[in-house]
Structure 1
């Protein structure tokens, strides 16, 4: 009787374990899907917030004449910056949403703290200066070097905002 019990119960227990494992996997997939949807919703909300802020600033701002400048990207490394790549020329920390401008633009009033609208990219704050060898140029700060390299070099319209 004991042997019969083992032969009938063991397959049932194995089947139950397999079913429970499948249920756990399906539940985990649902959790992963919901987590992914939450991340997408958060990113969408952040993007909307940025767009609303940009529209608010543009409605409030007076723009200087639009000019075409060379736009590149940089990240905090000593080969692209000076000895302290985390400190900008404005003596403030580097951060996302800021730019460095060439010295000729700086001399024309594109100074620290001013906002610049770059067509198709958004509104940025001037926080840093570029090397004196560059002219009519803006460098967008990015933390990720591969992202900065991928951005490359573009000729884009930009305007200094009076906010």
Structure 2
């Protein structure tokens, strides 16, 4: 009787083991597929990240064009237009004719102290001062005479950052 039970149980156990082996193989294939999909998702995310960075750099390159149309105004050495010491520019140099102040967005893009700028129709100026944070895409020409600055007004003009 024991032998009969062994003969009956052995094929069932063998079938069970074969089924379990098949289940293990199928599960391993699913795990491999999921691992492959995860790898692809990571590679896709990295590729997208690279594309976003490339697009950001291209946009920055476009923003760094040395020629732009900006708002050009004029300012005087008065405390209501400058800070407590209107005769000293942000560059720590004394203000003088030929000085300009630039908005901080331009400054952050390389329009820094000491660089020369050509303002169409007005000449070449040196960046020595910064404008208030509220202004963007703007250049302010220093003038000693307040009436002359008022007459200058506000204009949209092409300006070029020079490489001299």
Q: Normalization by structure 1: what TM-score?
A: 0.61
Q: Does 1:152 align with 2:153?
A: yes
The equivalent residue for 1:79 is: 80
Is 1:91 matched with 2:84? Answer: no
Extract unaligned runs of 5+ from structure 1: 1-63
SS in 2 for 1:70: strand
Q: Distance between the aligned counterparts of 1:65 and 1:88, measured in 2?
A: 23
Q: Secondary structure at the match of 2:106?
A: helix
* Whole-Å separation in 2 of the counterparts to 1:66 and 1:115: 12
Correspondence 1:141 to 2:142: yes
In 2, Cα distance between the equivalents of 1:153 and 1:132? 18
Deviation at 1:66, TM superposition (A): 1.4
Q: Displaced runs of 4+ in structure 1, greater than 3 A?
A: none
Aligned length: 100
Listed as ranges, the matches of 1:23-102 within 5 Å are: 65-102=66-103
1:67 & 1:126 partners in 2: Cα distance? 16
1:65 positional shift: 3.3
> TM-score of the superposition, structure 2-length normalised?
0.60
- Correspondence for 1:125: 126
Which structure's CA Rg is the greater one? Answer: 2
Give per-residue Cα distances to partners, 1:8-53, cap 9 Å, x unaligned. xxxxxxxxxxxxxxxxxxxxxxxxxxxxxxxxxxxxxxxxxxxxxx
Q: Distance in 2 between matches of 1:144 and 1:121?
A: 16
SS at match of 1:162: coil
Unpaired runs of at least 5, structure 2: 1-64
CA–CA separation in structure 1 for the residues paired with 2:120 and 2:110:
19
